[in-house]
Amino acid sequence: MALRTLSTFPSLPRRYTTRREPNLTVIYRNSATSIVCKSIANSEPPVSLSERDGFAAAAPTPGERFLEHQRAHEAQKVVKKELKKEKKKKKEEIIARKVVDTSVSCCYGCGAPLQTSDVDSPGFVDLVTYELKKKHHQLRTVICGRCQLLSHGHMITAVGGNGGYSGGKQFVSADELREKLSHLRHEKALIVKLVDIVDFNGSFLARVRDLVGANPIILVITKIDLLPKGTDMNCIGDWVVEVTMRKKLNVLSVHLTSSKSLDGVSGVASEIQKEKKGRDVYILGAANVGKSAFINALLKTMAERDPVAAAAQKYKPIQSAVPGTTLGPIQINAFLGGEKLYDTPGVHLHHRQAAVVHSDDLPALAPQNRLRGQSFDISTLPTQSSSSPKGESLNGYTFFWGGLVRIDILKALPETCFTFYGPKALDIHVVPTKTATAFYEKELGVLLTPPSGKDQMQEWKGLQSHRLLQIEINDAKRPASDVAISGLGWISIEPIRRTRGTEPRDLNEAEHEIRICVSVPKPVEVFLRPTLPIGTSGTEWYQYRELTDKEEEVRPKWFF
C-alpha cells in the first residue's frame, strides 16, 4: 500500500509529537510502531534547534487572530473617543471665551461693559449710581452716558481701525467687534441677517458664512419705506431673491420690512417662532443697517401676543444714526420658551463710504426721507458755455456727486438719462470733463461736500480709485443697469429716456454700449448690477423670469 501524507489521516492521538528532518518527516508515539511519511517540501530552510525540539511559538490560530483584531479595534475606538472628547472640550473653551459673559454687567443700550473710571469711554456710569444699582441687583437696567448722548442726537463714534471712522475717539477697533461674533460658527443658532435696500450691495455681507457657519439664515431687507412712491413690492421681492440666488447664499426666506411703519415685521416674527426650534436668535448685519431699530419694531410686534417680549421692551437697545452704536452683544429675554434674542455689533466694512469720511459728515450719508431720483440728460443741462463739448449727448461731461463720486461720460446715446438715488444732502453738479479737475480742486469743501470743514479737508485723500465700466444695451425699452456706490446709493442708467406717449427708437449696431469712468475714494467699491425696479415705471418694464420645477423648489420665498 502506498504511503499517505500526514494531511490524509482522519485524526491522530493527542500524544503525537513531530520531528522534522531536511528530507523526511518522522511521526512516532511511545509505542515501537512508527510511521514514516515523505516530506511535501523538497527544499526547506535549515530548522533551528528550538524548533526541532518543539519549543518555538506556534503560528496563531484563526481564533487568536480574531481576538487580536478585536482588541486592536477596541483600542482604536478608545483613542477616537478620547480625541473626540478633547476636540469637544476645545470647542467649549472657545465658546466660553467668546459667548456673552453674563457675569460682566453691560449697558443695555449699546452692550459696552459698565465702568466708572473713564467719563468719555462707552459704558461709563457714575460711581454712586453703579453702587446703588449693584446693591439692589439692578445693573441690567443701567444705561451708560454715551447712550444717553446718542439718544439726544449727538454723533459720538467709538469704532476705529480697518472699517472704522476717522475723527473723535476710537475705543474699539472694527476687527475687535468682528471677533466678538466669531463664536457663532460653533453655536447652534438662528441668524436673522439684515440688508439695507438703499445700500443693498454694500451692506449684503456676501461672506456671512465665515461668521455664522452652517446656521440657517432668514434674510430681512430693511428701510423699504425709503423707496419712491408707486414702487411695486412684488417686483422688489422678486428682484431681491434673484440677486440673492446669484450670490449663492442659501436662505430660509426673504422679508421686506420697514422698522418705521412696521410693514413686514409680523412676518419675520412668525418665521422666527417657526424656525428657532430651541435655538437662540442673533440679529446680524453691517453697521448702520438698522439692527437696533428692527429689534425695537420686532419686540413691539411680538408684545401683542407674548408677555415676555412686552416686558423686554422696557430695556431695549439704543438706536441712532451713528454707525457703531452697538459695541457688544446685547442679550434680550424675548421668548416664552427661554431662548434669547441678541442684538450684535454691526460688521464694519472698509469698502463703504462711511469708512472714509469724517465722523462729522456721517449724517449726510443717511437718507431720512423717501428717495426721489434726480435725472439728467442732455436736455436738462444748463446753458452751454464755450468750454462745453459740442454734440447732442452727454459725451464729454462729468458728474460730481458731492465730493465723494466723479463720473466721466465717455460714450452715451443722445437720449441717455442718468438718475441718481441717494441722500438729499449731497448735491449733484455737471461740468465739462475738460474743466472737471480744476472745478473739483476749487469747489471741494464748498459746493462739493462732504468733506466739509478744515479738519476733514486736511484728512481727505481724494478720489484715488478709478473704474471703467462698459454697459451693454440689450433692450432700449428697459434701463440698462444700475451703478451702485457702496455706502451711498446708486445711479440708474436708461439708454433712451422714457417719455409718456412715445416709444423708444430702434438702435443701430454702434449704439449698443455705454462707457463711463467712476472715481471714488479708496477703498470704496463700485458695483454693476441689474436695475432695481422702483417707482411706477419699474412695474412697466420689469420682467419676471420663468422658473423650472427644480428652481421653484430651491428658490426661497419672499414676504411683505
Burial of 503 (0-12, 13-18, 19+ CB in 10 A): exposed
Q: Which pLDDT belongs to residue 246?
A: 87
Give me the residues of the chain with pLDDT under 70, please: 1-58, 91-103, 158, 160-171, 382-391, 500-503
| Residue 460: partners with Cβ closer than 8 Å, 6 or more residues away | 403, 444, 451
Residue among 216, 217, 239 at smallest CA distance from 227: 239
CB-facing half-sphere around the CA of 268: CA atoms within 13 A: 31
- CA atoms of 300 and 306, how far apart (whole Å): 10
State the distance between the two ends of the chain, measured CA to CA, in whole angstroms: 102
Cell 449698443 found at:
512
Give the containing element (helix H, strand E) for 246.
helix 233-246
Residue type, 335: F
Cis geometry, peptide bond prior to residue 62 (ω within 30 degrees of 0): no
Provide the pLDDT for residue 44.
52
Instruction: Quickly list H helices, 447-548.
Output: 454-459, 535-541
Q: CB of 171 within 8 A of CB of 115? A: no
Cell numbers 442673533 correspond to 282
Given a contact cutoff of 8 angstroms between Cβ atoms, the answer to whether 263 and 256 are in contact is yes
CB within 8 Å of 288: residues ≥ 6 apart: 196, 321, 322, 323, 324, 346, 354, 366
Strands 557-559 and 253-256: parallel
Q: Residue 289: which of 221, 428, 195 has the closest Cα?
A: 195
The rounded distance, in Å, linking the Cα atoms of 509 and 503 is 19
**Residue 502, pLDDT score:** 66
Residues in the chain, total? 560
Alpha carbon distances (Å) from 83 to 40, 78, 87, 95, 406: 52, 9, 6, 19, 58
Burial pattern 196-209, b for ≥16 Cβ within 10 A else e, equals: bbbbbbbbbbeebb
Q: Concatenate the DSSP letters of all residues of 238-300 into one string.
A: HHHHHHHHHTT---SEEEE--TTT-TTHHHHHHHHHHH-TT-EEEEEEBTTSSHHHHHHHHHH
Beta bridge partners of 471: 514
Separation CA 358–CA 376 (nearest Å): 29
pLDDT of the residue at 3: 47
Q: Is 340 helix (H, G, I), strand (E, B) or coil?
A: strand
Task: Show Cβ contacts of residue 184 under 8 Å, excluding neighbours closer than 6 positions.
Answer: 191, 211, 212, 213, 215, 282, 284
Asked whether 227 and 367 are in contact (CB, 8 A), the reply is: no
